[in-house]
């Protein structure tokens, strides 16, 4: 700190001595005569004042610096007054926005004749405008420390226009003084003293009156200008910023379209005009931008009160972005054509050498008899210029030329000829050379000095006039203004480049003597860029989301249902004078024919504007060069890609759920497709493959884990999936399979979907589980999503099968007793044993849930196959063909098992459920002991459960009210799957017993699949036999004497009989004759006829059908024209079986029956609830009927029968 004070004191002493010396020796300091020395002198003067004012902040007991400065600079004050009066015209011009616009000082076009280039504006005046920032500081500092100069007549107006536009005066970086407070505190008292002295008459009366009048005007000006500045300074600068926005835009367009104007061989005046206009515009814009940020948050106290009044600066002024962009564009143009500018400058300097040599040989110069030192300096100047390389063709950029020595020598000449101590001064040289009719010697030298800087100091000139590095000290305000203006109505996407490019210049503000400043400023610059990039990407994301909203592209997708369209057509026809009313209908839809009404154009215009802004922003960010801040490089194209894909991921996850619950997959698919279409629109303006990124996002949300495991058949145990797939799959498991919300989920076999008694979340179950919705799920998440849902269903089913395994193990002894009693026909022992089985109702519930999972996975497989057929029909055809020729052997090889599993997942295997359960049992290790041999007996005991008392059949859904039909699916699949596993285990045991040695061919021959199916058939027949026996034995002996009509009142018996009939229909291994051996066909047909008679959606039609046709199929598709009357038969009471209306049954015209999923795959089975005919493709059974029905139509006979109960053997 002590060293700093010493340095400050040394600088103060040396600077003051030099200022006084220059002031006393330089003969002229006028801008048009000695501009180079003038700028050096005034810059030193302002630096001296700044150091003294700034030191006050760090030195205790420091006298008011302005008071000391007035005393120190009292001798210099008259020279300062002369200089300020000399720059007054430029000050007035710079503040006269109307004149600048009308006279075209900053326009490349003539103000009144736009077709011609500007050549009427004075180039020297335009060049002076480039120094207007310095001139304004001279005025503010000059009159502040030399207040006596305000008493000049012309000084009042000069000070007024500058003070009216400024409230602060910068000292160092972002340190400032409140300008008007200091003028009122230090300048005004001196003016009042001068006024008092003039009034006292100490001077001559005439001069006293003039001095008094001027002092009074200055007093009034200082007193009033503060109020004016508070009210009007922002408006004045805002008007100037608008002018600069327009002129810089036109200038950039002009020089972009006319780059030849920068070529080396163009006219002199045009190049001078280019240089002066561009630098003047840059300096003006730099001044205005810095002024704007300097005055944000400034609070100034009025002179008459101590209350602080904030300056009203608009933080959302869009002109700042335009100015920054214009400055950046002009600087890029200068750098782009820097070779042309350097080429012209070199050519100019070469010709200037010839002119200066000729001027040195004129008679006037010879007559001056220059001394040897001055003559030697002129000779050195000529040599410097003559030694400049000559530009040749396109190698201008390769020329290296340092003209520093030339400029030093020229400044030495100026110091000599402008000194009062020299015998040869500036006036002598001008008189000696101007008589030639050309430019004088000093004019040529000054012009050469200026053009030499375009050769090796063009970057420094750009930095002086256009560098935004000072904005670092206001970077927090920069971020706020950017956010307020970038995406406003006046914001432009191309402005992003300029706002971001500012950061590259921030490290230039670091002081070389303070090493840690480089780190701090660099860190701030990086944070600034990251903050702006975050805002830009937020705006990009916002534009995409606007288009992806219901008010965006979603409005173009609005479609009316036919009923809605009819309603609006009828409503429009009832309205008589459409032109006198609003074109909007009752619910906001436009009337037919009024869609193109002007009132509806606003939304389309909004979409067009959003699309244009999105594409422009993408183009600008794509073309933007990387931003380098110290060792950080920011590539906007990469940020844009991450933003777009990250937004896609977030939109996908947010679209999964609605306000109430899961979004319908078809709606979700539509939303995703809409969003992807917007990304494809943006991709046309980005030189990156966003389509690949879309695939990555969708894949990551469907699968996440090591890439190496993507195509493995054995999935790792801890494999994680994408959050989107996880959320959807969990929802289906929890709400459809487990029904945790208690919505009454029912599987409807006829409709091939799940239904619910009340909404599950926001939709009824059929809205999210039909084939259309599951196909949408498959298209969204692909095979990995299907695998995940299939795996979760398997995990859930595996847990349920474990419960069956546990029940078999824990009840093994009881089941042995049940099996013995069933085979012996001991009903009493059977009933007693069945009552000993633990939690039989719970096991039934688990089996029903497993059946629900089987049904859901079957629908999922169908949907997967349909999507595969649509997207890759050749692969589907190949897989279907392979599935037909898969070897039928047990045990299966690993490759065959994998292939069968793939075919099963796509629904091209006819027995989906059995194979699915088989895979589960093999994975979890169930069915590996002898207790599973009692499986059919355990299932048979289900017929004795109380659950049948509340079971009712619904013809409209083809199922029961409590999903007992899913129990049939579970029983069929579990028995078949366990038999396959048992046979595999037996084969392994034989292999282990053989100890690896070959045995007889008959012993080693693998069992064929037909033997396995025969075993399954035998087990199923055993189950049906014992189940039917339990059902029929439960028919109370006291009721057997009653008429058959009472059977329908025993709803649990009816439900059990229909259950067995459906089980035979579902199972691909069980023939119809298995059931007919125990339940006559006529009884089943009569039961179904009663249901269909009382179903409002099913017309009863009686056909003369064969007993080998399902009663349900015969009844539901007969023609009403052949219905037989019931005669005097007792009307059936159908109150127990009233079903809801049903739609959507799929009718096969060829077979006259409803087709189920299994029938389409097997292609040989009819799909009614019952099917007594048709052979199976894999199993050949001889089916017989023992019903004894031989008449043309069994239903009329049983419908009027008064016979007693049928005896069962």
**Number of Cβ atoms within 10 Å of the Cβ of 835:** 11
Q: Is 60 exceeded by the pLDDT of residue 196?
A: yes
pLDDT of residue 371: 85
Residue 880: both structure tokens together: 């279907």
Lowest mean pLDDT among 109-123, 331-345, 1018-1032: 109-123
What DSSP line would sit under 1005-1056, residue for residue?
SPEEHHHHHHHHHHHHHHHHHHHHHHHHHTS-GGGTTS-GGGGGG-HHHHHH
Round the average pLDDT of the chain to a whole number and report it. Answer: 79
Q: Residue 853's pLDDT is what? A: 95
pLDDT, mean of residues 519-525: 92
772 burial level (CB within 10 Å; 0-12, 13-18, 19+): middle
Using a pLDDT cut of 90, give the percent of the chain over it: 28
Q: Average pLDDT in the 559-583 region?
A: 62
- Per-residue model confidence (pLDDT) at position 309: 61
Q: Which residue has the higher pLDDT, 1138 or 1047?
A: 1047
Higher pLDDT, 769 or 995: 769
The stretch 170-178 carries a mean pLDDT of: 90
**Residue 731 CB-half CA count within 13 A:** 23
Output the six-digit token pair for 741: 């919300």
* Joined tokens for residue 862: 């169908």
How far is it, in rounded angstroms, from Cα 776 to Cα 867? 9
- 507: closest CA among 594, 629, 609, 589? 629
Residue 864's nearest CA partner among 775, 937, 798 is: 775
Q: What is the pLDDT of residues 12-43, one digit of tens each?
A: 889 999 999 999 988 888 888 888 999 999 99
Helix locations, 258-297, DSSP H: 268-294
**How many other C-beta atoms are found inside a 10 Å radius of the C-beta of residue 833?**
23
- Token look-up 């049940």 returns 818
To 10 degrees, what angle do helices 873-884 and 894-905 make? 130
* Cβ atoms of 1082 and 1200 closer than 8 Å: no
* Local confidence band at 772 (pLDDT 50, 70, 90 cut-offs): very high
Reading the block at residue 700, the tokens are 């990551």
pLDDT in tens, 347-380: 889 999 998 888 888 888 888 878 888 889 999 9
Listed as own residue / partner, the contacts of 1116-1124 with beta carbons closer than 8 Å and 24 or more positions apart are: 1116/955, 1116/1092, 1116/1154, 1116/1168, 1117/1147, 1117/1152, 1117/1153, 1117/1154, 1124/1193, 1124/1195, 1124/1196
pLDDT at 1172 over 50: no
Contact criterion met (CB below 8 Å) for 1165 and 1113: no
Residue 584: strand, helix, or coil: strand
Task: Say yes or no to pLDDT of 848 above 90.
Answer: yes
Q: How confident is the model at residue 1101 (pLDDT cuts 50, 70, 90)?
A: very low
The pLDDT tens digits of the residues spanning 606-628 come to: 888 889 899 999 999 998 889 99
For 888, residues 6+ apart whose C-beta sits below 8 A from its C-beta are: 1008, 1009, 1010
For range 45-65, the mean pLDDT? 82
> Does residue 612 come out as left (phi exceeding 0), alpha (psi in the -120 to 50 range) or beta?
alpha
In this structure, are residues 861 and 906 in contact, taking their beta carbons and an 8 Å threshold?
A: yes
Interatomic CA distance for residues 76 and 73, integer angstroms: 5
Q: Work out the angle between the directed axes of helices 1051-1066 and 1009-1033 (0-180°, nearest 10).
A: 170
CA distance 883 to 1013: 18
**3-class secondary-structure state, position 720:** coil
What is the CB neighbour count within 10 angstroms for residue 689? 11
How is residue 707 written in tokens?
């890439």
pLDDT confidence tier of residue 1085, bands split at 50, 70 and 90: confident
pLDDT at 1129 over 50: no
Residue-wise pLDDT tens digits, 133-167: 999 999 999 999 999 999 888 899 999 999 999 99
pLDDT surpasses 60 at 653: yes
- H/E stretch holding 683 reads helix 665-683
Task: Kindly tell me if the per-residue pLDDT of 999 is higher than 50.
Answer: no
Look up residue 482 and give its two tokens: 């950017």
pLDDT surpasses 50 at 1115? no
Instruction: For residue 73, give both structure tokens.
Output: 């600079």
Is the separation of the CB atoms in 169 and 177 below 8 Å? yes
Taking 70 as the threshold, does the pLDDT of residue 1154 lie above it?
no
With beta carbons less than 8 A apart as the criterion, state whether 1026 and 987 touch: no
126 vs 1141, which has greater pLDDT? Answer: 126
- pLDDT given at position 105: 80
Q: What is the pLDDT of residue 582?
A: 46
pLDDT single digits (tens) 883-897:
888 887 777 788 888
Question: What pTM value is reported for the model?
Answer: 0.76
pLDDT confidence of 262, banded at 50, 70, 90? very low
Confidence of residue 720 (pLDDT cuts 50, 70, 90): low
Please list the alpha-helical segments (H only) found in 770-872: 771-810, 812-824, 827-835, 840-871
pLDDT value at 1118 more than 80: no
| Element of type H or E holding 597 | none
Q: What is the largest CA-CA distance in the chain?
A: 157
Could you tell me which residue, 703 or 21, shows the higher pLDDT? Answer: 21
- Average pLDDT in the 1088-1105 region? 59
The SS3 of residue 943 is: helix
- pLDDT exceeds 70 at position 560: no
| Highest mean pLDDT out of 475-489, 531-545, 1150-1164, 1167-1181 | 531-545
Q: What is the pLDDT of residue 595?
A: 56
- CA-CA-CA-CA dihedral for 946, 947, 949, 951, to nearest 10: -170
- Looking at residue 132, what is its pLDDT? 87
Task: State mean pLDDT over 848-857.
Answer: 94
Look at residue 705 and tell me whether its pLDDT is greater than 60: no
Domain locations in the chain as residue ranges: 61-326, 340-466, 477-560+601-697, 812-996+1004-1199
- Phi/psi of residue 1007, each to 5°? -70, 140
Of the pLDDT bands very low, low, confident and very high (cuts 50, 70, 90), residue 131 is: confident
Q: Is the pLDDT of residue 1171 over 70?
A: no
1147 or 1022, greater pLDDT: 1022
Q: pLDDT band at 956, cuts 50/70/90?
A: confident
Q: Is the pLDDT of residue 1032 over 90?
A: no
The alpha carbon of residue 835 and the mean position of all alpha carbons in its chain are separated, in whole angstroms, by 63
Please state, as a whole number, how many other Cβ atoms lie within 10 Å of the Cβ of residue 306: 7
- pLDDT for residue 855 is more than 90: yes
pLDDT bucket at 435, cuts 50 / 70 / 90: low
Tell me whether the omega of the peptide bond preceding residue 981 falls within 30 degrees of 0, making it cis. no
Give 1155's pLDDT tier (boundaries 50, 70, 90): very low
pLDDT given at position 1107: 39
For strands 746-748 and 953-954, give the pairing. Answer: unpaired
The residue that leads in pLDDT, 246 or 1038, is: 246
d(CA 84, CA 91): 9
């Amino acid at each position: 700190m002590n060293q700093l004070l010493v340095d400050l004191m040394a600088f103060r002493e040396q600077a003051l001595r030099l200022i006084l010396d220059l002031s006393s020796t330089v003969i002229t300091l006028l801008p048009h005569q000695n501009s180079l020395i003038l700028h050096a002198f005034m810059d030193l003067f302002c630096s001296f004042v700044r150091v003294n004012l700034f030191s006050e902040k760090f030195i205790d007991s420091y006298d008011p610096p302005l008071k000391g400065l007035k005393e120190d600079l009292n001798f210099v004050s008259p020279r300062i007054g002369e200089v300020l009066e000399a720059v007054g015209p430029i000050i007035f011009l710079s503040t006269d926005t109307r004149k600048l616009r009308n006279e075209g000082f900053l326009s490349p076009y003539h103000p009144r004749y736009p077709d011609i280039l500007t050549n009427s504006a004075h180039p020297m005046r335009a060049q002076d405008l480039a120094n207007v920032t310095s001139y304004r500081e001279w005025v503010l500092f000059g009159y502040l420390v030399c207040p006596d100069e305000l008493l000049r007549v012309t000084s009042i107006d000069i000070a007024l226009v500058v003070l009216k536009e400024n409230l602060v005066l910068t000292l160092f970086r972002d340190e400032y003084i409140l300008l008007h407070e200091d003028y009122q505190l230090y300048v005004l008292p001196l003016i009042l003293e001068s006024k008092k002295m003039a009034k006292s008459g100490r001077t001559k009366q005439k001069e006293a009156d003039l001095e008094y009048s001027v002092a009074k005007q200055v007093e009034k000006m200082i007193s009033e200008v503060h109020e004016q500045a508070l009210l009007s300074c922002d408006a004045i600068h805002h008007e100037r910023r608008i002018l600069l926005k327009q002129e810089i835009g036109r200038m950039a367009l002009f020089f972009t379209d006319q780059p030849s104007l920068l070529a080396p061989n163009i006219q002199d005046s045009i190049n001078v005009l280019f240089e002066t206009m561009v630098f003047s515009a840059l300096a003006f814009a730099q001044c205005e931008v810095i002024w704007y940020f300097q005055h944000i948050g400034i609070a100034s106290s009025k002179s008459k009160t101590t209350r602080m009044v904030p300056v009203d600066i608009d933080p959302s002024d869009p002109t700042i972005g335009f100015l920054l962009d214009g400055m950046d564009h002009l600087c890029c143009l200068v750098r782009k054509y820097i070779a042309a500018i350097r080429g012209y400058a070199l050519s100019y300097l070469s010709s200037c050498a010839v002119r200066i040599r000729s001027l040195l040989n004129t008679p006037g110069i010879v007559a001056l008899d220059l001394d040897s030192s001055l003559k030697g300096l002129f000779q050195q100047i000529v040599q410097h210029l003559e030694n400049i390389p000559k530009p040749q063709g396109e190698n201008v950029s390769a020329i290296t030329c340092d003209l520093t020595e030339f400029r030093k020598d020229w400044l030495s000449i100026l110091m000599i000829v402008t000194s009062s101590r020299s015998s040869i001064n500036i006036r002598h040289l001008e008189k000696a050379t101007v008589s030639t009719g050309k430019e004088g010697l000093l004019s040529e030298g000054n012009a050469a000095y200026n053009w030499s800087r375009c050769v090796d100091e063009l970057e420094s000139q750009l930095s002086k006039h256009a560098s935004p590095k000072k904005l670092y000290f206001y970077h927090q305000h920069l971020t706020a203004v950017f956010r307020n203006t970038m995406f406003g109505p006046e914001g432009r996407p191309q402005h992003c480049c300029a706002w971001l490019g500012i950061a590259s210049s921030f490290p230039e503000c670091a002081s070389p003597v303070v090493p840690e400043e480089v780190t701090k400023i660099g860190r701030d610059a990086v944070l600034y860029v990251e903050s702006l990039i975050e805002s830009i990407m937020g705006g990009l994301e916002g534009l995409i989301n606007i288009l992806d909203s219901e008010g965006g592209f979603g409005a173009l997708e609005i479609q009316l249902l036919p009923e809605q369209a009819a309603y609006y057509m009828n409503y429009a026809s009832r309205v008589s004078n459409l032109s006198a009313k609003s074109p909007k209908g009752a619910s906001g839809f436009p009337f037919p024919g009024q869609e193109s009404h002007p009132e509806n154009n606003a939304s389309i215009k909004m979409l067009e504007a959003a699309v244009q802004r999105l594409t422009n922003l993408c183009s600008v960010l794509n073309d933007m060069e990387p931003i380098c801040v110290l060792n950080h490089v920011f590539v906007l194209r990469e940020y844009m890609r991450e933003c777009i894909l990250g937004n896609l991921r977030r939109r996908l996850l947010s679209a999964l759920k609605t306000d109430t619950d899961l979004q319908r997959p078809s709606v979700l698919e539509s939303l995703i497709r809409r969003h992807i279409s917007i990304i494809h629109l943006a991709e046309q303006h980005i030189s990156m493959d966003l389509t690949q990124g879309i695939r990555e996002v969708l894949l990551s949300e469907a699968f996440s884990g090591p890439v190496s495991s993507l195509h493995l058949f054995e999935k790792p145990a801890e494999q994680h999936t994408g959050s989107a797939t996880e959320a959807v799959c969990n929802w289906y498991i929890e709400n459809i399979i487990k029904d945790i919300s208690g919505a009454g989920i029912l599987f409807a076999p006829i409709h091939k979907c799940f239904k619910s008694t009340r909404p599950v979340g926001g939709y009824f179950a059929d809205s999210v589980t039909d084939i259309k919705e599951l196909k949408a799920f498959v298209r969204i998440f692909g095979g990995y999503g299907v695998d995940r849902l299939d795996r979760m269903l398997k995990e859930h089913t595996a847990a349920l099968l474990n419960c069956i395994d546990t029940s078999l193990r824990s009840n093994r002894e009881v089941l042995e007793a049940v099996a013995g009693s069933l085979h012996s026909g001991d009903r009493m022992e059977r009933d007693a044993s069945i009552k000993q089985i633990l939690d039989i109702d719970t096991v039934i519930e688990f089996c029903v849930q497993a059946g629900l999972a089987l049904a859901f996975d079957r629908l999922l497989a169908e949907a997967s196959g349909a999507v595969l057929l649509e997207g890759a029909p050749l692969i589907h055809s190949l897989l279907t063909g392979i599935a037909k020729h898969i070897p039928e052997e047990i045990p299966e090889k690993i490759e065959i098992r994998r292939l069968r599993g793939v075919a099963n997942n796509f629904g091209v295997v006819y027995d989906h459920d059995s194979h699915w359960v088989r895979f589960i049992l093999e994975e979890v290790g169930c069915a590996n002991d002898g207790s599973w041999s009692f499986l059919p007996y355990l299932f048979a005991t289900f017929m004795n459960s109380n659950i049948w008392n509340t079971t009712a059949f619904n013809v409209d859904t083809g199922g029961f009210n409590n999903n007992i039909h899913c129990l049939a699916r579970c029983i069929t699949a579990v028995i078949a799957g366990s038999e396959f596993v048992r046979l595999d285990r037996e084969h392994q045991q034989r292999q282990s017993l053989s100890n690896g040695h070959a045995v007889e061919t008959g012993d080693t021959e693998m069992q064929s699949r037909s033997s396995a199916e025969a075993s399954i058939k035998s087990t199923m027949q055993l189950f049906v036999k014992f189940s039917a026996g339990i059902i029929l034995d439960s028919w109370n002996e006291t009721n057997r004497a009653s008429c058959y009509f009472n059977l329908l009142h025993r709803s649990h018996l009816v439900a059990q009989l229909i259950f067995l009939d459906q089980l035979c229909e579902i199972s691909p291994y069980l023939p119809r004759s298995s059931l007919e051996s125990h339940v006559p066909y006529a009884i089943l047909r009569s039961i179904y006829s009663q249901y269909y008679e009382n179903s409002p959606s099913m017309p009863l039609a009686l056909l003369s059908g064969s007993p080998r046709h399902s009663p349900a199929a015969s009844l539901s598709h007969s023609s009403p024209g052949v219905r037989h009357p019931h005669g005097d038969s007792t009307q059936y009471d159908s109150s127990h079986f009233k079903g809801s209306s049903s739609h959507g049954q799929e009718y096969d015209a060829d077979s006259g029956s409803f087709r189920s999923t299994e029938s389409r795959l097997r292609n040989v089975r009819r799909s009614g609830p019952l099917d007594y005919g048709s052979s199976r493709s894999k199993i050949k059974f001889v089916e017989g009927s023992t019903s004894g029905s031989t008449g043309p139509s069994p239903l009329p006979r049983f419908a009027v029968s008064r016979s007693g109960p049928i005896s069962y053997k």
